[in-house]
Amino acid sequence: MDTSLWLLHSLRLDWPVDWTAVFGRSAPLLLEIGFGGADFLVDLTVSRPEANVIGVELSLPSLKKGAKKLQAGDLRNGRVVQGAGQLVLWALCLPDSLDEVYINFPDPWPKERHHGRRLISDTFLHLLATRLKAGGRLDIATDHADYAAWIVRHLERSPYFVSRLPTTYVNEDPERITTKYEQKGFDEGRAGHYFKWRRTETPAPNLFPIPKELPMPHVVLQSPLSLEEISRRFTPQSDRSENARIELLEMFQSTRDGKLLVEAYVREEPLAQRVGLTIRRREPGDMVVGLHEVGFPRPTPGIQLAIAHLARWVVGLDPASAIVRSNVGVEIGD
Ligand SMILES: C[S@@+](CC[C@H](N)C(=O)[O-])C[C@H]1O[C@@H](n2cnc3c(N)ncnc32)[C@H](O)[C@@H]1O
C-alpha cells in the first residue's frame, strides 16, 4: 500500500514548507500534535473538507496507521508528518500561518522530576503564539488532573491566549469524538478537561526564526599526517556556540578507501542530528573535511560548527598543517 502522498518526514521537507504546494491548494491550515490512533485527525479531516489538516507524531506505528486511514478515505486534505510538534511548528510553519491547533491527551509525565518533558510550557506556548494567527483556535484536552492544573497555570499567565468559554476549561465536550486514549481514561474513572482557547491580538515577538540552511560545508586542509595516524589520535570531544552544542563521539576508518568517518551529535534548537563527518584524502598532502550524506543531514550552523571543530582539531595535531580553503567560517591560517 503506497501511502507516500500522505506520510511526510519533517527532516526531508523544506523549511518552511510551502503547504499550498503540498496540498495543491490554499486553505485554512489546521494542525494536530500527537494524534496517536488518528481517530480525531481523521474526523477533523472528514468534517472540515474546506481545510488543510496536518497531523504530527513521533511514533512510527501511529504515523503508518494515520497515513493508511487517510489513504483509505482518499482524504487529500490531510497529511501526517513525522517529527516533534516543536520542530514542525518552528521549522516547517511560517509565523501567523496556522488557523487551528489541537493537542489531545499529551503525555502527562506525572512524576515531578519529569515535568520538564511536558509538551505544554511557557516556551512552547510562545512558539505556538508566533505560528497561530490572531483569533486562531487552540484546543487542548487532558484527563490528568495535575496536568490540567499545570495547563491552567501556563495558559492563564500567557498574554497570547484567552479562553473562548466563560470558564478555563469544561469537563464535557459533546462536539468532539472520543479518542482511544480518552476512552481508556473514562473506563478507568478519569474526567476529561477540555480547554478551548483563542489566540489574542497581542503580537508575540518571533523568538523562533525558521532554522537556516547553509551550503554543504567543507574544509580543505594540508597535513603531513596519514589518515591512520589521525584515527589513532582521535579522542571524543565537544564544543559549543551560542546556539549549538556538538559532540564528536567516535572515529571509524573505511576498509575500502581509508576515509575517516566521525560520528557526531549536533544539538541546536529545535533539532538534534546524529550525523557522519568525513575526512578524506584528495591529493597527496590535501584532505577534505565534509558532511556524509547518510541519513539525510541538514547543513545547519551547528553542523558547520562540528566541521570547523574537526578541521581545527586535525590542523592542531601537527605544526606543519594548515587550512587551505573553507566555507564554514574557519579562517585560513587558524
Ligand atoms: C497519550 S498519547 C495521546 C494520543 C491521541 N492524541 C489520543 O488522544 O488518543 C500522546 C501521543 O503524543 C505523541 N507525542 C509525544 N510527544 C510528542 C511531540 N513532541 N510531538 C508530537 N507527538 C508527540 C506520542 O507519540 C503519543 O502518540
Report the atom number in ligand 1 closest to the C-alpha of 88: 20
pLDDT-derived band at 334, boundaries 50, 70, 90? very low
- pLDDT of 1 > 90? The answer is no
- pLDDT of 171 > 80? The answer is yes
- The answer to whether the beta carbons of residues 141 and 194 sit under 8 Å apart is yes
Give the pLDDT of residue 329.
74
- pLDDT of 189 > 80? The answer is yes
The rounded mean pLDDT for the chain is 95
Percent of the residues in the chain that have a pLDDT greater than 70, as a whole number: 99
Which pTM was predicted? 0.91
pLDDT-derived band at 212, boundaries 50, 70, 90? confident
**Cα–Cα dist 327/61, whole Å:** 40
Nearest CA to ligand 1 atom 22: 34
Nearest CA to ligand 1 atom 24: 34
Please report the DSSP string for 256-317 in residue order: TT--EEEEEEEEETTEEEEEEEEEEE-STTEEEEEE--TT-----HHHHHHHHHHHHHHHHT
7-199: which CATH topology? Rossmann fold (3.40.50)
- The answer to whether the beta carbons of residues 216 and 291 sit under 8 Å apart is yes
pLDDT-derived band at 295, boundaries 50, 70, 90? confident
**pLDDT per residue over 100-123, tens digit each?**
999 999 999 999 999 999 999 999
CA angle in degrees (0–180, nearest 5) for 298-34-303: 15
Give the pLDDT of residue 330.
65
107 close to ligand 1 (CB < 6 Angstrom): yes
The catalytic residue among 107, 286, 318, 334 is 107
Give the pLDDT of residue 35.
98
Cell of 264: 557526531
Give the pLDDT of residue 284.
79
**Helix, strand or coil, per DSSP, at residue 219:** strand
CA angle in degrees (0–180, nearest 5) for 142-145-149: 90
Annotated active-site residue 334? The verdict is no
Span 89-96, average pLDDT: 98
pLDDT-derived band at 318, boundaries 50, 70, 90? very high
Give 179 or 131, the one with higher predicted confidence: 131
